[in-house]
Amino acid sequence: MKAMKKIAASLLVGMCLPVSVNAATLSSTPNHTWRYAKRSAWYQDRSKSSYYRQIWNRANAIWSKKGFNWKRTTKKVKTTVSTVSSGNQYWVGLTWTRNPSGHYISANKVQLNRTLLSQMKYTKTQRVNVAKHELGHALGLDHNTDSSISVMNPANRYHSVRNCDVVGMKRLYNQRYISGSITRYSVASLLKPNTVSFDYPDGLTNNPQRLCQQSSVIINAQVQSVKDADQYFSWVTLQNVKTVKGKFITNAKVKVAGNSHTLTSGNPLQVGEKVELGLTKVDKHYELVANEYGIFNRS
C-alpha cells in the first residue's frame, strides 16, 4: 500500500484518554500564519437551539478569560458558528477559514455535528471543549500533538484551554499584523487562501486499519473530472472503478475538500490520476471517510 497523503488541512481522528490533573504540555500550541487584526473578534451564532447557544457562549467565555475576546452579535460578521445534523458520521466539528493573503482572516465558518456528538455520548462539558477547539482554529491556532494536554489536541474531548494554548495564541498575536485586499487565488498559487479542519471522534488516530473497518466503501479508481461544488468543495467523478469493499454506485459523485478558488494543505485531485479512497455514502453521493489518517492513496 502506497504512502498516504492528506488532502484536507487538518483531519482530526483521535484517541483521547483521561489524564492526570497534574499533567501539562509545556511546548506552546502551534499556530497558522493568519490571524485577526487584534485579539478580539465578533461572531454570529446561528444555532437554532438554546442548548447549543449555551455551548458556544461557554466556549467563547473561556477564550475571553484567557486573552482572546470573542464577542457575540446578531449582525453579519466574518465568523459564524452553528450546528448541523450531518449524515457523515466521521466528524464532530469543522472550521473553514478563508485567508486570501495567507496572513489575515476574511471569513470563518465553524460547525458542530450534533448528530454524532449525541451518538458518541459527549457530555455538555465535552461539547463545550469541542467548541473551544473550533474557536481556537477560528482565531488562528493549529493542532497540538496527539498526546498534548491542550484544547487543540487533535481529538479534544476532555481538555479546556490550557497554558500552552494561551502561549501559542499570544505568540501569534504578538507578531506584526499583515492586512491586504481580498484576492482570488487559483489552485496554481503557492499560497493557501483557505483551510479546513475536520474534527473527528475518539478512537481513530493514526489507525488506518480501524478506518478500513469504518469505511463502508473502499475503491480503486481513476479521476475523470473535478468541478467546483461551492466555495469549499469539489465534485469528483471517477472511471475504471474497482471495488475493494462494499458497493459503489456507478457514476456516483464524490465530494472532496477544496476547489479551483480554495486550497487545502494537500495537492488537489488531478484529472487522470489513480487513487484509492475510503468512502461513506451521504444522500446520493459519497464523501471521504478520512483524508489524513484515512484511506487516501494516490499514484
In tens, the pLDDT along 11-68 reads 232 222 233 334 577 789 999 888 999 999 999 999 999 999 999 999 999 999 999 9
Distances in Å between the alpha carbon of 90 and those of 28, 202, 290? Answer: 28, 10, 8
Instruction: Output DSSP code: residue 160.
Output: -
Report the distance separating Cα 148 and Cα 171, nearest Å. Answer: 18
Instruction: Output DSSP code: residue 30.
Output: P
CATH 3.20.20.10 at 208-298, yes or no = no
For Cα atoms 145, 125, 13, give the angle at the middle one, nearest 5 degrees.
35
Report the distance separating Cα 79 and Cα 229, nearest Å. Answer: 22
**What CATH architecture is 17-202?**
3-Layer(aba) Sandwich (3.40)
Average pLDDT over residues 154-180: 90
Is it the case that residue 124 has pLDDT exceeding 60? yes
Place of cell 446578531: 74
Report the distance separating Cα 97 and Cα 284, nearest Å. Answer: 27
**Which cell numbers in the block locate residue 19?**
489524564
Residue 293: what pLDDT? Answer: 36
Residue 214: what pLDDT? Answer: 63
Using CB atoms within 10 Å of the CB of residue 188, give its burial: 0 to 12 exposed, 13 to 18 middle, 19+ buried.
exposed
Q: Which amino acid is at 180?
A: G
What are the residue ranges spanned by the domains of the chain? 17-202, 208-298
Query: How confident is residue 245, by pLDDT bands cut at 50, 70 and 90?
Result: confident
Q: Rounded to two decimals, what is the model's pTM? A: 0.67
In tens, the pLDDT along 42-53 reads 999 999 999 999
